[in-house]
Amino acid sequence: MTSTLAPSTTKMFDKLSDKSERPNIRAYRLRKSFAAVHFEAAGKGRVVLLPDGAEVHVVGLSTLAGCCEVMFENRLYNMFKADLSGIWASPTKSSPMQPAKALAVGACA
């Protein structure tokens, strides 16, 4: 059985209008390419490589076990938490969350 779940974090950040109301999120600079899963609007996931030097922003928990949702170039991806806590990802300054442009992102369950 397949179902589509829309992430609640995107909608929550979209409703925040004032920059001072937006929560600060942790950002990481990747020091090597990492695999991440991007779910398309139809709920189909595909594995992509985030490039070396990419700055990703953690926006919430993922529906995938052991993963978190990150934002890179206005797209949501699911990455393993261990990838961000290892030596190949450096924390950067936290920054205010920008609203996501794509709201129709789902996950297969």
pLDDT digits (tens, 9 = 90+) for 29-63: 999 999 999 998 888 999 999 999 999 999 999 98
- Name 77's bridge partners: 70
pLDDT digits (tens, 9 = 90+) for 86-108: 899 999 876 555 544 444 444 44
- With 0.85 as the threshold, say if the pTM is over it: no
